[in-house]
């Protein structure tokens, strides 16, 4: 891609513990590339990623 065609990105931070969280939500967090509290991941904004963020929005912060 050229500089003019850079995709929109979103930065995600895990700010709550995964203790007591459903297994499917834990798997979603792993799918977003997050492991520990305060870990950060930068991803391309796609409908799939936005759906994953919506599922676990109570555990993360995103910009």
18-62 per-position pLDDT tens digit: 999 999 999 999 999 999 999 999 999 999 999 999 999 999 998
- What pLDDT sits at residue 2? 56
> Would you say residue 37 lies in a domain?
yes
> Would you say residue 27 lies in a domain?
yes
> Would you say residue 8 lies in a domain?
no
In the chain, the number of structural domains is 1
**3 state DSSP class of 28:** helix
> Would you say residue 47 lies in a domain?
yes
> Would you say residue 35 lies in a domain?
yes
CA distance 53 to 37: 16
Helices (H), 1-63: 23-31, 47-55
What is the residue range of 50's domain? 22-63
């Amino acid at each position: 891609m050229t500089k003019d065609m850079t995709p929109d990105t979103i930065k995600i931070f895990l700010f709550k513990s995964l203790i007591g969280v459903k297994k499917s939500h834990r798997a979603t967090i792993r799918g977003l590339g997050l492991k520990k509290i305060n870990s950060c991941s930068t991803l391309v904004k796609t409908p799939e990623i936005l759906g994953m963020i919506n599922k676990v929005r109570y555990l993360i912060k995103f910009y």
